[in-house]
Amino acid sequence: MKKLWAGRFREKTSMIAESFTESISFDKLLWQYDIQGSIAHAKMLGKQRIIPRKDSEKIIRGLEDIAKEIAAGKFIFREDLEDIHMNIETALISKIGDVGRKLHTARSRNDQVALDLRLYIRSEVHEIISLMKTFQRTLLTSASKHLNALMPGYTHLQRAQPVLLSHHLLAYVEMLQRDVERFKTVYEGANQMPLGSCALAGTTLPVDREYVTQLLGFDGISRNSIDAVSDRDFAIDLLSASAVLIMHLSRLAEELILWSTEEFKFIELPDAFTTGSSIMPQKKNPDVAELIRGKTGRVYGNLIALLTVMKGLPLSYNRDLQEDKIPVFDTVDAVKSCLVVLNEMFPGIAFDTKRMRDTAGDAYSTATDIAEYLVKKGIPFRHAHEITGRIVLSCITQKKHLDELSLKELRTFSPLISFDIFPFLKPEESVRNRKSLGGTAPDEVKKQIKRLRKTVGSKK
């Protein structure tokens, strides 16, 4: 078949070149956005009398029919037509005749694909934010359920101080809230209308770009036609925000993997989200969590891939930009699938709160409480820290826990120590006393849950 752009060429395109340059195998995902943008463009052409209104209406009906065919799985995408734009335009011409050739008036595939990708990202960002908020609510529900459950808090993966499980879970709610805000910024960056920039220089025809912007629900309109067709910052912003999001999900996945081991025994993952071994019958493997952790590498790679594609491109459009879609599509699929599976898996996780409580007081985790007790007695913190360190060393030497020391033994380290120190040695009291803003005290965690529920909002 003769190419729509064949007028300049003496020879047919090589079959090898066609296969190498085609993008329909992946950009067909943009079909609904391509048709949406084309309908808006046709309406504008008719409104401005650039083409007759009856032609505009005929084009729109033809595009609507094509949309139904694609949605029903009846449309055949052809590799020899290169991309989604040429596939739809060729089908339109076949359906309504030469009138279909008027659709591409006052636009180029350069501004057309920029529009399609912005529409796609705008839609997907909305869905990703919704999934993040759902997972935040899932975590908040779990935090409320385990409000007073103790667990060891860690630094350097060493037991450090007792904290509430609910407080630990809320840390991920906070991370996700930052992710929500980042994706809102991505949405704002993508929500600028580029159509009308044409190939790079605009058009001599009396287009109404503001009208198209209004039809497509964009908040703004691109102000430089060269930048509009060559800009992929909005796609890089999506990949960047996704990299941070999946990093947070990977950290959670890593903890779920650790906590499910025999060494920790903090949780049991639901059978429906684990797998067995082909050789070891006793195994219950956290494959879902491991794949979340593994997909993080792909998302990072996609960000670097697009940054590398963009780094040496002269203005304006270059075919290199065809390579923007696979990283974007793959990243969107990865982060959405991770959020979907976490939303389904997390409510089925069984927390062994007794085991967590039993380990919360180990490894001298209330040592800081002793130091702060001594500070309240008037001892400078650095001196109090040293005294407490010697108390811990004595316990290690004697193979004792802190709460097994007698008052007599404790007073050998400081005469200011009295009976009122013993509550400070209990993990429950340690947690209860950490009432600083954002701390792990139950009353403070309740405030955090209340604040976050308001921030995250309801399911509506």
Report, as residue numbers or ranges, the catalytic residues. Answer: 156, 277
DSSP letter (8 states) at residue 320: G
Contact of 105 with 41, CB cutoff 8 Å: no
Q: Looking up tokens 């599509």, which residue turns up?
A: 329
| Identity at 342, one-letter amino acid code | L
**Could you check whether the bond before residue 108 is cis, i.e. omega within 30 degrees of 0?**
no
Distances (CA, A) of 373 to 306, 400, 418, 422: 54, 20, 10, 10
Tokens coding 180: 């929500």
Rounded CA gap, 152 and 440, in Å?
Answer: 12
Rounded CA gap, 313 and 337, in Å?
Answer: 32
Contact of 199 with 110, CB cutoff 8 Å: yes
Contact of 242 with 299, CB cutoff 8 Å: yes
Helix, strand, or coil here: 203?
A: coil
Pairing of strands 192-193, 220-221: parallel
Other CB atoms within 10 A of residue 157 CB: 7
Contact of 116 with 28, CB cutoff 8 Å: no
Q: What angle in degrees, to the nearest 10, is found between the helix axes of 233-259 and 287-310?
A: 160
- 205-212 CB contacts, 8 Å cutoff, 24+ apart: 205/48, 205/50, 205/105, 205/106, 206/48, 206/50, 207/44, 207/45, 207/48, 207/50, 207/106, 208/44, 208/47, 208/48, 211/43, 211/44, 211/47, 212/40, 212/41, 212/44
- Nearest one of 370, 366, 365 to 416, comparing CA atoms: 370
> How open is the CA angle 264-265-266, to the nearest 5 degrees?
90
